[in-house]
Structure 1
Amino acid sequence: MKKFAVLLVVLSLIAGVLAGCGQSKSSSNEKQQSQEVSKDSSKEKSNEIQKIKDRGKILIGIFTDKPPFGYVDENGKNDGFEVALSKRFAKDLLGDESKLEFVPLEPENRIPFLQSDKVDLIMANMTVTDERKQVVDFTNPHLKVAIQILAKDNSKITSVDDLKGKKVIVTKGTTADIYFTKNHPDIELIKFTKVTESFQALKDDRGDVYVNDNLLLFDFVKDNKGFKVLDIRLEEPSPIAPAVKKGNKELKEWVNQELSKLGEEKYLHKLYDEYLKESFGDNVKNPTDVIVEGGKWE
């Protein structure tokens, strides 16, 4: 009986050792598979530019109703400051400025289009905010902007407090919309999807003022008598930057390097003279009040 008991103990110990080896081997295999998956995932993320090259074109989201940044000209062609910059990106990335597809956007669908891979890059007057940085990645900036108020020449408004009891027109998804919703929920907002609709609503007296990026408002007053941009900045100037999908570090870094390279030839100054100077007139004293050459925010 004693021998039999000893034999059982020995067999039990051998079974335990074998089980431990099996678990160790299984754990080792799982760890190796996990590392391989991680490597594959990392490799996939690092091939974003190669995907664009394999496709043969870059998908860039733009505005079509925001002159002088993105609009459709009299010949039905996309044009504007950000459109021209997008073409230069395509030329330097793919060797031909025509190797791109412009995807029309509205302010409220910019982020969803990026998240669903309908675009690789957003070039649609997108102001950098802390909220947006949670869901997309911004490159270095190419423009700077402030939120201001567009009103009729006879307007008596001198501060944001004067907007209480007024109807304030905003475009959905813009920083102006976000600003009032967050900071002044007591002010009535009249919201429209398109910038053109918002401007028309103000002309038709469906609201007392229209609030948006001052760069767009400056262009509007140039061709529309009877309106003025009030000398009230709702916030300090903020950067406007291209945006990529969250985690797309490769394309983000490429754009940053491209902006730096273009800064050496003062390329944004050239685009300013071509697209912005006439539109802004005396409202902008210095091009650097609007453009951020080389992506260097100061």
Structure 2
Amino acid sequence: MKFSTIAATGAMMAALFLGASAASADQLADIKAAGKIVCGLTIVQPFAFNDQATRKVVGYEVDLCQMLAADLGVTMESSVVAADVRVPELLQGRIDVLDALMSYTAERAQVIDFSNQYVSDGFYFIVQKDSPITDVEQLADKRISVAKGSLYQTAASRRFPNANVISFDDGPLAFLAMQQGKSDATVQRGAAAVGLQLRSPAGSPEIRLLEPPLVRQGSGFGVRKGEPEFLAYLNDFLGRLESSGEAQKLWDKWLGKDSEYKLERKFVVGTPLGG
């Protein structure tokens, strides 16, 4: 059966927003008064994942939010949320800020506000290394596995309306489907795909990333509308993170020279999103 992606409409998300508890007139002051900040995280390695040794959630975005909490002078609490419920959880006030690989889109920006970017990456179609598929256009009528509620679920369906776009609860499950031959390709962030391959069991199929990427997007903190002071603080924090060199250290620890990924950083933390 062909999977048809129906994007959440602005009206539906607006209803969620209006139905939520009224946002504070000054969330920044409220966070400082409460002495804690609740960060919404989504499990995507190495950005946020369960460390088997410590049984704690660790990663690039976890450290980022800990740095933010320290800068605010408060403690950090984390709440792991699935990609398709990130925005509702924020709008309902159960989390203070999304630190969950929330890629900027104009549609999302109608519902929540975005800080400047703290990471940028490409979303690629990924196939098994020995797959006969060598060109993105060959996927026009193929099976493509994606994470439910992700930016690239909608993007893949729009790019290839005749493809069978199959959604899974998260990115790792969509990746596994490609490895097991249940889909011809999957869509993943480039960095996330490298991590999933590194942690695959011995003998698992190797992968290839097809150029060009489906889309290249930056991600920033997601906050509720009507919080200009909080948003300005986040942007200032990210700018200071870049200028101090801490942004590079964070990248090197999880994705760069000090990690198993050895990826080069090709973006500037604190760059505005959305033009």
Same fold (TM > 0.5):
yes
Counterpart position of 1:158: 134
Match of 2:51 in 1: 73
For 2:211, give the aligned amino acid: I
Give the aligned length. Answer: 246
Partner of 1:89: 68
Larger fraction in strand:
2
Identity, in percent, stands at: 26
- Report SS of the residue matched to 2:94: coil
What residue ranges of structure 1 are gaps of 5+ in the alignment?
1-42
CA shift, 1:44, in A, is 4.8
CA deviations over 1:19-76 (Å, ceiling 9, x no partner) = xxxxxxxxxxxxxxxxxxxxxxxx952x21121122221111012x311100111211
Q: 1:119 aligns with which of 71, 86, 95?
A: 95
Q: CA RMSD in A?
A: 2.1
Relative contact order, higher structure (CA 8 A, sep 6+): 2
Cα 1:90/1:158, change in 2 over 3 Å = same
Q: Distance in 2 between matches of 1:173 and 1:275?
A: 25
Change (3 A) 1:44 1:175: closer
Query: Are 2:30 and 1:51 aligned?
Result: yes
Give the aligned residue type for 1:145.
D
What is the alpha-carbon distance in structure 1 between the residues aligned to residue 143 and residue 24 of structure 2? 49
Structure 1 residues 169, 153: CA separation in 2 closer, same or farther (over 3 Å shift)?
Answer: same
* Paired position in structure 2 for 1:280: 261
Structure number with larger C-alpha Rg = 1
The TM-score with structure 2 as length reference comes to: 0.83
Name the counterpart of 1:105.
Answer: 81
- CA deviations on 1:69-112 (whole Å, 9 max, x unpaired) are 0011121112100100100000111x24xx12101011111111
Q: Using the alignment, how far apart are the partners of 1:258 and 1:239 within structure 2?
A: 17
Alignment correspondent of 1:244: 223
Pick the aligned partner of 2:186 from 210, 220, 240: 210
- Please give the secondary structure, in 2, of the residue aligned with 1:132: helix
**Structure 2 CA distance for partners of 1:236 and 1:167, relative to 1, 3 Å:** closer
In 2, distance between residues paired with 1:212 and 1:112? Answer: 23
1:61 — aligned with what? 40
Alignment partner of 1:191: what SS?
strand
Aligned to 1:134: 110
Whole-Å separation in 2 of the counterparts to 1:187 and 1:199: 17
Is 2:97–2:221's contact at 8 Å kept on the other side of the alignment?
Answer: yes
Q: Distance in 1 between matches of 2:66 and 2:138?
A: 43
TM-score of the pair, normalised by structure 1:
0.77
Separation (CA, whole Å) in 1 of partners of 2:199 and 2:57: 21
8 Å CA contact 1:266, 1:293 repeated in 2: no
Counterpart of 2:238? 259
Per the alignment, residue 25 of structure 1 pairs with none
